[in-house]
Amino acid sequence: MPDADRKTFNDLLFELRYERSRDDLWPMLDRLYGGHPGYPRFRTALDKALRSAADARPDDLRLLDLKRDLEPDWFQRPDMAGYVFYIDRFCGHLRHVPEKLDYLRDLGISYVHFMPCLKPRKGDNDGGYSVMDYGAINPLYGTMEDFEAATRACRSRGISVCVDLVLNHTAKEHAWAKKARKGDPKYADYYLMFEDDTLPKQYEKTLVEVFPDNAPGNFTWYEDCGRWVWTTFNEHQWDLNWANPQVFLEMTKVMLSLANKGVDILRFDAVAFMWKRMGTRCQSEPECHMLLQALRAACRIVAPAVIHLEEAIVGPAEMLPYLGRGEHDGKEGNLAYHNSLMVQFWSSLAARDTQLMSYVLDTHFPPTLTNATYATYLRCHDDIGWAVTDEDAASVGIDGRLHRAFLSDFYEGVFPGSFAKGELFQFNPETRDKRISGTCASLAGLERALVAGDDEATDRAIDRILMGHALIASFGGIPLVYMGDEVGLLNDYGYVDYPPHAHDSRWLHRPLMDWDHVAAAAAGPETAAGRILAGMKDILSRRAQVPEFHAKNPTEVLHTGNSTLFAFARRAPTGSVVCVYNFSEVWTALPWSWLTQHGVTKRHELLSDTVIDDSGSGALPLPPLARVWLR
Ligand code: GLC
């Protein structure tokens, strides 16, 4: 196409997309910022920013925009599976990412999450979540050119790239923060700064502590500038003032510039904290959802190929709105972490009882979502917080506080008979909450089993790991495999020897990728690691062939009457797949009459690709930690 025609065509597309999303964008911003004196200027500046980002969008990404506008369910399909890693820990440098793509494709991966890779502050930077420059890549990982080359290599292999965009705070070393600290009023208004502690004290009355051990309180006093600064997380992470439209403008520019570098999925970090309101916990305030809808709309105008993953690790009722509920239906996050599924998996494993899990997943989650789905996972780079409410626990006759305490003890490994090995992460003396760190394999019992040389315990640990991955591959959403879990990497106790990490037990489960271990796993299919690796590949490749697992198909939790089983059906127009998981180490069975009643017609078990002959027993036998997908 001649250049002039192409320009006209691009402009036309931009206008069409602007029309499509105009009403998702401006009404939100009018409500958020309409009363701000700088609002008219902001409107003009934002409009200009959208147009210039659209003009700068590279041709190959424009093509992707067209493709994904035509196939808006691209991320909901059963062949989507993610893999999450730190660049340095996985392959050393961005330049080495392409060398690892065969490995990832072979595993069944179509989405990679490069953990925080923008330039962080030096020293302790909260695993990269303390960003000092949103326009640069972490120099340890490479340059922006290396980054673009890596995204291009992934794209050419059909792999989408997810990166973090930390919206709630910047490092105190960010240029804006430095100017604010020097007293520049423009930049002081980018943050939440207070001359004395009157307001901080009032806010503190209702705030919760995120890192009570090593960063108690939500405000920090800086002698040099004579100000208190809002620092929800660590002292070096300064919360941004999203009530200032200038912050929205700056972050929108950052978002669109990352989109134009070839990012497919933007993971918005810690979104629940973006809006502050006196007298509340300052989490998940309605304005958070207005901001996120407006960011989504801006992205759909300029870069519709890009989707948003919102990180809100909160209870079910509070999490769902991040996937767009009520007025935001279909207009907010495309993905959000299914924290409850993760917590309930570990809870049921320890209790050998699925009643709480079935209750929570049945009661709180809708069968489908609009333009959205879950990111399902067993482990990530963060700790596990026992997000079980007292009310939910009471509904199935258990005491929430005691159950949470049991889970912490169990996964720390101090509960008698526990198979797990983990460490505590943050202890809040006020709420008595203890969170847990540890790799999937160590928490699932592999570490203890291998140390003891206990073959039966090893078998059980492998079954727990594979059952969990079969669960997240079938429930609905994009399953995310956390680096190393596919070969059962164990806890890395060495983190305590490195001072910037020593205070943060989350580094226990952020090991270096052990490529010798991977090679041994590939060469030794009978070893524990080899069995996990083969099992994972199998799960992901089978999942890709089950159209019923498309996220558009409702997930219906089923009640078997057997408290060790968790079951659900995926209801597709063509028929159902019923998935059953045995959370105990004992054999059990499920009557065929029950399975038939819930939609199993062919007795085709999809994980083993066999038709099950019931030998006249009338029931499907389920071995310890069984996982079955029945069509
Ligand atoms: C998110 C990240 C976590 C980080 C926090 C503060 O929750 O997942 O690792 O500590 O945000 O940025």
For residue 405, the tally of other CB atoms under 10 A from its CB is: 16
Task: Out of 222, 239, 256, pick the residue that ends a domain.
Answer: 239
126 lines ligand 1 (CB under 6 A): yes
Answer whether 345's CB lies under 8 Å from 468's CB.
yes
Residue 566 domain flag: yes
The total number of structural domains that make up the chain:
2
Residue 181 domain flag: yes
- Give mean pLDDT in consecutive 10-residue pieces for the chain, a chain of 631 residues: 86 97 98 97 98 97 97 98 98 98 98 98 96 98 98 97 98 98 98 98 95 88 98 98 98 98 98 98 98 98 98 91 96 97 98 98 94 98 96 98 97 98 90 93 98 98 98 98 98 96 96 97 97 98 98 97 98 97 97 96 93 85 97 95
Residue 373 domain flag: no
148, two tokens: 């673009």
- Cα-to-centroid distance, 420 and ligand 1 (Å): 24
User: Active site includes 362?
Assistant: no
354, two tokens: 């699925």
Q: In residues, how long is the chain?
A: 631
Question: Of the residues 126, 239, 269, 548, which is catalytic?
Answer: 269
614 lines ligand 1 (CB under 6 A): no
The confidence score (pLDDT) of residue 615 equals: 67
The confidence score (pLDDT) of residue 79 equals: 98
Ligand 1 atom closest to Cα of 381? 9
Choosing from 84, 233, 503 the residue with most ligand 1 atoms within 8 A of its CB, the one to mutate for a pocket test is 233
37, two tokens: 């004196």
- Domain hosting residue 564, numbered range: 555-630
Question: What pairing do the DSSP bridges indicate for beta strands 193-194 and 227-230?
Answer: antiparallel
3-class SS string, 302-331: HCCCCEEEECCCCCHHHHHHHHCCHHHCCC
Q: Measuring from atom 9 of ligand 1, which residue has the nearest CA? A: 382
3-state secondary structure of 423: strand
The confidence score (pLDDT) of residue 214 equals: 79
Residue 299 domain flag: no
- Cα-to-centroid distance, 271 and ligand 1 (Å): 10
463 lines ligand 1 (CB under 6 A): no
Q: CATH code at 565?
A: 2.60.40.1180
* Rounded Cα–Cα distance for residues 623 and 156 (Å): 42
Q: Measuring from atom 3 of ligand 1, which residue has the nearest CA? A: 382
Which residue, chain included where needed, has tokens 């980002």? 53
Q: Measuring from atom 7 of ligand 1, which residue has the nearest CA? A: 270
- Cα-to-centroid distance, 164 and ligand 1 (Å): 10
Tens of pLDDT, residues 395-446 = 999 999 999 999 999 999 999 999 999 999 988 888 888 999 999 999 999 9
Task: Out of 239, 272, 290, pick the residue that ends a domain.
Answer: 239
How far is the CA of 376 from the CAs of 37, 213, 269, 368, 477, in angstroms? 43, 28, 16, 15, 6
Residue 531 domain flag: no
* Rounded Cα–Cα distance for residues 66 and 63 (Å): 5
Q: Measuring from atom 4 of ligand 1, which residue has the nearest CA? A: 129
337 lines ligand 1 (CB under 6 A): no
Residue 577 domain flag: yes
The confidence score (pLDDT) of residue 428 equals: 83
Question: Of the residues 124, 310, 311, 447, which is catalytic?
Answer: 311
- Cα-to-centroid distance, 269 and ligand 1 (Å): 6
Residue 208 domain flag: yes
Residue 363 domain flag: no
In percent, the amount of the chain with pLDDT more than 90 equals: 94
- Helix 286-302 to helix 3-33 angle, to the nearest 10 degrees? 170
User: Active site includes 269?
Assistant: yes
164 lines ligand 1 (CB under 6 A): no
Q: CATH code at 205?
A: 3.90.400.10
